[in-house]
Amino acid sequence: MDEDGGDGRHHAEDAYERQQRLEVLLHELRTSLTTIRGWAELPLQGLSDDPELMVRALRRIQDEADHMHQAVQQVFPRADTSWVRPLDAEPVDLRDVADEAVADLGLLDPERPIARENSGRPTLVADNRMLRHAIRNLLDNALRHTPAGSPVTVAVRGPVAGSGGRPQVELSVSDQGPGMSPHDIARLTSPRSEDRRIEPGGGLGLSIVRRVVERHGGEVSVHSAPDRGTTVTVTFPTVSVSSGN
């Protein structure tokens, strides 16, 4: 060991990294399993006579199962692969991503009023599966931290002029809950160069959202006040996306 205890720090960092991977894996598996359970219960609710709905349910179950397999592969990769896989970029309509996330959560909290707002044709080049799970985490966080029956609004806009006049698309989730703490806001919106650790517990979903958005060259902004609700907005460039490291 060198004099400054370098080996000890490396071991500690490796242990922390492994713990982070397991925290992310458990969070993603719980999210996918909850979605699978919701869609799988449709026949028990007397809705199996709708063929289109059943096909949609089976596709969602298959997609979530694929995501679970992929999550496990990322956390326990083969020797020649990286934990952070390259983005599988393709044209994505942000409205479709929002609709699917709302449909998923509507199965789990059918009494919750979730409003949808669309403006323009918000298309971007992105990893569809990764983007979908980020938005799902964002909406799930809004539902879990607001009173039962409290309304949530999911709005999609674009293209709009961003910084420097560059076109971008936006998705925002607004709630009427107790608001976010300054600590959570700072962790979600701090610059990329600052601490990027994923935190366990209630902030894990928001940390995953931030990582996905940043990998797509986007940004996260938060407007929140005590007892006046929270609006989290994610913005993405509409042109292209890098492989993302």
Domain shared by 125 and 174, yes or no: yes
Domain shared by 118 and 60, yes or no: no
Domain shared by 50 and 99, yes or no: no
Look-up of token digits 């650790």: 197
Q: Residue 45: CB partners within 8 Å, gap ≥ 6? A: none
CATH, residue 32:
1.10.287.130
CATH, residue 140:
3.30.565.10
Query: Do residues 87 and 127 make contact, with C-beta atoms less than 8 angstroms apart?
Result: yes
- The Cα 85–Cα 244 span in angstroms is 8
Q: Between 68 and 196, where is the model more confident?
A: 68
For residue 8, pLDDT beyond 70? no
Q: Does any domain span residue 21?
A: yes
Domain shared by 207 and 148, yes or no: yes
pLDDT digits (tens, 9 = 90+) for 60-111: 787 878 777 777 766 665 433 444 567 888 999 999 999 988 888 777 788 8
Count helices and strands (H / E) in the chain: 6, 7
Poorest-pLDDT segment among 23-37, 40-54, 193-207: 193-207
Q: What is the pLDDT of residue 3?
A: 52
Q: Does any domain span residue 81?
A: no
* Boundary (domain end) residue, out of 47, 75, 103: 75
Domain shared by 50 and 166, yes or no: no
Domain shared by 20 and 140, yes or no: no
Q: At what angle do helices 51-75 and 6-40 cross, to 10 degrees?
A: 170
Domain shared by 19 and 115, yes or no: no
pLDDT digits (tens, 9 = 90+) for 123-142: 999 988 888 888 988 888 88
pTM: 0.64
* Boundary (domain end) residue, out of 21, 47, 75: 75
Q: What is the pLDDT of residue 79?
A: 39
Q: Does any domain span residue 132?
A: yes
Q: Residue 163: CB partners within 8 Å, gap ≥ 6? A: none
pLDDT digits (tens, 9 = 90+) for 43-56: 666 666 777 777 77
For residue 155, pLDDT beyond 80? yes
Q: Does any domain span residue 194?
A: yes
For residue 15, pLDDT beyond 90? no
Q: Across the chain, what does the average pLDDT equal? A: 77
Q: What is the pLDDT of residue 48?
A: 64
Q: First vs last Cα of the chain: how many Å apart?
A: 31
Q: Does any domain span residue 242?
A: no
Q: Between 151 and 28, where is the model more confident?
A: 151
Task: State the DSSP code for 150.
Answer: -
* Boundary (domain end) residue, out of 21, 42, 75: 75
Q: What is the pLDDT of residue 44?
A: 65
Extract the tokens encoding 91.
Answer: 């044209």
Domain shared by 152 and 67, yes or no: no
Extract the tokens encoding 107.
Answer: 């199965």
Q: Does any domain span residue 1?
A: no
Q: Does any domain span residue 147?
A: yes
Q: What is the pLDDT of residue 13?
A: 59
Q: Between 218 and 64, where is the model more confident?
A: 218
Domain containing 68 equals 6-75
Q: At what angle do helices 94-108 and 128-144 cross, to 10 degrees?
A: 40
Which of 15-24, 32-41, 161-170, 229-238 is predicted most confidently? 229-238
- Banded pLDDT at 4 (limits 50, 70, 90): low
Q: Does any domain span residue 206?
A: yes
Q: What is the pLDDT of residue 91?
A: 93
Domain shared by 197 and 129, yes or no: yes
Domain shared by 45 and 97, yes or no: no
- The Cα 238–Cα 242 span in angstroms is 12
Q: What is the pLDDT of residue 236?
A: 94
What's the number of domains the chain is made of?
Answer: 2
Domain shared by 142 and 45, yes or no: no
Q: What is the pLDDT of residue 201?
A: 44
Domain shared by 142 and 200, yes or no: yes
